[in-house]
Structure 1
Amino acid sequence: MTSPIDAALAATEAKIGLEIGVSNWITVDQAMIDSFAETTHDDQWIHVDPARAASESPFGGTIAHGFLTLSLASRFAYDCFPPLPGQVMAINYGFNKLRFLTPVPAGCRLRGRFTVKSAKKRSATELLRENVLTVEIDGRDTPALVADWLGMVVFPAPS
């Protein structure tokens, strides 16, 4: 009988190089940007001062924080990764590569697109998955960011 972690590993390995999900769109409006600025204490004017950003920035208005865009990755993942059979939890394990490619103007819609890059069994209970995350901006050719994102999927200890 195949264990849940071994079945998950085989299923994930079979999808390497394939797109496995596209999330729903999320609108990044000024209220979201202001809330993020307040939470992170990053109130740089290019994010929170629409009048000044319109007149002084090269973007024509405010832009989302790069880390705000990145923080939406968790929401995008919820849309694309249902729990695997036997999974206890999934944990953000970090990034191997992350690039912010295009600023996100206030009012834009974003979505995440995931492609499986690799998978390996780290222990009897841990499956490490690496996915390429591309955060798309509605109507734009260049994505907001591209990242190689690691996620640890945890299974119960074998009995």
Structure 2
Amino acid sequence: MKSLYRIGLALTLAAALAGCKSDREKLVESRLDFHTLYEEQIERSVTLISSLRQNVPKDRVRETIKKHRTFEQGRQDLLELYSEKNFTDAEFTQIMDARQRALAGQEPSAEQKPAAEKLARIIQERMKDGTYLAKGKTSQEAILAELDE
């Protein structure tokens, strides 16, 4: 009976922890629409892959990309990018405010520019990172191979 109680307690604790979100995760989710960003990323990928496989219908390309690039993967990438490892809460807020200004056709304020430039540097570093590039290349090759079947 004790072991059954322990298993039940362990499962309850695991479920409770799985539902916990960090303050940063809550902050990022409050400022970004993950679904819209995911769909935009998918559509950019569809455009790229469709240019390489012009004979494949775009719907099939989109479906294949979504099999290889899930919503949760995109969400985790954004959470990692905007993590506390990279930005303070104040920097993240400045980046999001600069994003709003850019969407409205305005330049970031002088206060927002350093954080926006830091974001640009981090993204550039990611694009040069061998592991990040290899992961992207592997994913693209898998998508192309599946479309060639």
The TM-score bracket by the shorter chain reads under 0.3
Asked which structure has the greater RCO (Cα within 8 Å, sep 6+), the reply is 1
Q: Point out the structure with the larger helix share.
A: 2
Q: Please, what TM-score do these two structures have when normalized by structure 1?
A: 0.24
Q: Which has the larger radius of gyration?
A: 2
